[in-house]
């Protein structure tokens, strides 16, 4: 249930309710908005709830007690009506500005990464992506350079000032990835790896949670709930396409999911139209559509020479095509009343 306090509630009032609920076995999550303080009380036995809700509602500083029927509670809009804005080294995700995360699918060499990072930054990208641990379908294909790649990414951040995002595939690598990366990425194949999600929930760095290949919106939001339930609320959702019967595209980018999750959850939403389409010439038009549908930003794979990329060459943009995409996004961003944060 969530307890909405009236605006005159004092810190002592909040403490009183929190202590009482903790004593009854509830897990407590506090959301202090500009206008309201909301206490989320989760996980106590069902039989208590109606009685406790009634008693709390009778307190003079309580406006309302609402039980949340949805299976995701902390990431839902009821608990946190204001949108979550995440600040990563001065880049705000989920605010007014549209943020583009760009970089190669895999970090292949220091030179490949730096060339891409410099060009992406110049074109207006704010976050550098790059895979160090790769979730490859085949055990024989490239698995990533591991820590070496993380070092190159940190060097590229030092030079360009762009915060970095990279995937963590295994709970045993979390500390290593945390040492270098500014945002942890949970890949589509790991969206339902609940033990990984729980461990990541203990980290105090933003996480971008990709939607599973065959996951419903509700399953995706419950995966986000796993992370939030451990106290990490800085979660970015990433729609990256789902499996359908269509084979022309690698995945079917689910445009519906963008306004749907923005309505259901308070978290920022990024659209990965590289994996969402699998074809470089579709990345730009579908990216424009995603921004028009309300996405807070894009994740785009860029490679200086996609023909020789070790992974995902067919969906990677060349540098000049990426520059064109960035210029072309500006009128769409302005049309939906947002700010590009870069100029043509
Ligand atoms: C990636 O971003 O490099 C990646 C592997 O994406 P996904 O998990 O969406 O397939
Ligand atoms: Mn990729």
Ligand nearest to the backbone CA of 311: 2
Across the chain, mean pLDDT equals 95
Spatial distance between the Cα atoms of 344 and 331, rounded to a whole number of angstroms: 10
Question: What residues contact residue 68 under an 8 Å CB cut-off, 6+ apart?
Answer: 1, 2, 76, 78, 79
Q: Which atom of ligand 1 has the smallest separation from the CA of 185?
A: 2
Q: How, if at all, do strands 91-93 and 86-88 pair?
A: antiparallel
Residue 120 Cβ inside 6 Å of ligand 1? The answer reads no
Residue nearest to ligand 1 atom 10, measured at CA: 188
Residue nearest to ligand 1 atom 3, measured at CA: 105
Domain range annotation of the chain: 2-66, 86-340
E strand or H helix at 20, and its extent? helix 11-23
Give me 247's structure tokens: 């084979």
Ligand nearest to the backbone CA of 278: 2
At residue 46, the pLDDT reads 67
Q: Is 211 helix (H, G, I), strand (E, B) or coil?
A: coil
Give me 248's structure tokens: 């022309």
Nearest CA among 195, 172, 198, 196 for reference residue 186: 196
Please say if the pLDDT value at position 333 is more than 90: yes
Residue 250 Cβ inside 6 Å of ligand 1? The answer reads no
Question: Predicted confidence band at 297 (pLDDT cuts at 50, 70, 90)?
Answer: very high
Task: Please tell me the CATH code under which domain 2-66 is placed.
Answer: 3.30.70.1140
In the chain, the percentage of residues whose pLDDT exceeds 70 is: 99
Q: Which atom of ligand 1 has the smallest separation from the CA of 134?
A: 5
Spatial distance between the Cα atoms of 42 and 58, rounded to a whole number of angstroms: 20
Please say if the pLDDT value at position 8 is more than 90: no
Please say if the pLDDT value at position 47 is more than 80: no
Q: Which atom of ligand 1 has the smallest separation from the CA of 131?
A: 3
In this predicted model, what pLDDT tens digit does every residue of 222-259 receive, in sequence order? 999 999 999 999 999 999 999 999 999 999 999 999 99
Q: Which atom of ligand 1 has the smallest separation from the CA of 129?
A: 2
Residue 150 Cβ inside 6 Å of ligand 1? The answer reads no
- Which of 28-32, 88-92, 138-142 has the largest mean confidence? 88-92
Strands (E) in 98-179, as ranges, are: 99-103, 127-129, 164-167
Question: Predicted confidence band at 69 (pLDDT cuts at 50, 70, 90)?
Answer: confident
At residue 202, the pLDDT reads 97
Give the class (CATH, top level) of 86-340: alpha beta
Spatial distance between the Cα atoms of 302 and 103, rounded to a whole number of angstroms: 5
Beta-bridged to residue 239, according to DSSP, are 271
Strands (E) in the chain, as ranges, are: 2-5, 27-32, 37-42, 62-66, 86-88, 91-93, 99-103, 127-129, 164-167, 183-186, 207-210, 235-239, 269-272, 297-301
Helices (H) and strands (E) in the chain, counts: 10, 14
Q: What separation in Å is there between the alpha carbon of 95 and the centre of ligand 1?
A: 24
Q: What separation in Å is there between the alpha carbon of 106 and the centre of ligand 2?
A: 7
Residue nearest to ligand 1 atom 6, measured at CA: 187
Beta-bridged to residue 127, according to DSSP, are 101
Residue 131 Cβ inside 6 Å of ligand 1? The answer reads yes
Q: What separation in Å is there between the alpha carbon of 105 and the centre of ligand 2?
A: 4
Residue 240 Cβ inside 6 Å of ligand 1? The answer reads yes
At residue 334, the pLDDT reads 98
In this predicted model, what pLDDT tens digit does every residue of 121-163 receive, in sequence order? 999 999 999 999 999 889 999 999 999 999 999 999 999 999 9
At residue 32, the pLDDT reads 84
Residue 300 Cβ inside 6 Å of ligand 1? The answer reads no
Residue nearest to ligand 1 atom 4, measured at CA: 187
**Is the Cβ–Cβ distance between 311 and 295 less than 8 Å?**
no
Ligand nearest to the backbone CA of 241: 1
Residue nearest to ligand 1 atom 8, measured at CA: 187
Q: What separation in Å is there between the alpha carbon of 187 and the centre of ligand 1?
A: 5
Question: Predicted confidence band at 51 (pLDDT cuts at 50, 70, 90)?
Answer: confident
Please say if the pLDDT value at position 220 is more than 80: yes
Ligand nearest to the backbone CA of 131: 1
Q: Is 208 exposed, middle or buried (0-12, 13-18, 19+ CB in 10 A)?
A: buried
Which phi and psi angles does 62 have, rounded to 5°? -100, 125
Q: What separation in Å is there between the alpha carbon of 219 and the centre of ligand 1?
A: 18
Residue 186 Cβ inside 6 Å of ligand 1? The answer reads no
């Amino acid at each position: 249930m969530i307890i909405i306090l009236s605006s005159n509630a004092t810190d002592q009032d909040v403490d009183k309710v929190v202590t009482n609920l903790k004593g009854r076995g509830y897990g407590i999550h506090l959301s202090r908005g500009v206008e309201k303080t909301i206490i989320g009380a989760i996980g106590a036995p069902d039989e208590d709830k109606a009685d406790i809700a009634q008693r709390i509602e009778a307190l003079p500083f309580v406006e309302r007690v609402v039980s949340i029927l949805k299976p995701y509670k902390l990431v839902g809009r009821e608990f946190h009506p204001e949108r979550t804005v995440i600040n990563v080294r001065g880049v705000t995700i989920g605010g007014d500005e549209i943020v583009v995360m760009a970089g190669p699918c895999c970090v292949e060499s220091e030179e490949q990464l730096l060339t891409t990072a410099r060009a992406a930054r110049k074109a207006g990208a704010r976050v550098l992506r790059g895979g160090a641990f790769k979730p490859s379908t085949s055990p024989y294909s490239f698995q990533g350079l591991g820590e070496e790649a993380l070092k190159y990414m940190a060097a590229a951040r030092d030079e360009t000032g762009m915060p970095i995002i990279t995937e963590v595939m295994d709970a045993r690598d979390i500390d290593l990835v945390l040492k270098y990366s500014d945002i942890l990425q949970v890949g589509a194949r790991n969206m339902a790896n609940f033990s990984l999600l729980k461990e990541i929930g203990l980290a105090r760095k933003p996480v971008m949670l990709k939607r599973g290949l065959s996951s419903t919106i509700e399953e995706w939001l419950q995966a986000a709930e796993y992370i939030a339930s451990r106290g990490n609320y800085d979660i970015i959702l990433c729609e990256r396409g789902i499996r359908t019967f269509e084979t022309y595209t690698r995945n079917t980018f689910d445009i519906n999911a963008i306004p749907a999750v923005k309505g259901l959850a308070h978290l920022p939403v990024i659209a990965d139209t590289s994996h969402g389409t699998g074809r470089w010439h579709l990345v730009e038009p579908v990216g424009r559509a995603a921004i028009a549908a309300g996405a807070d930003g894009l994740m785009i794979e860029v490679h200086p020479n996609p023909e020789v990329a070790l992974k995902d060459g067919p969906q990677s943009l060349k540098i000049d095509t990426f520059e064109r995409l960035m210029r072309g996004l500006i009128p769409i961003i302005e049309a939906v009343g947002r700010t590009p944060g870069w100029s043509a």
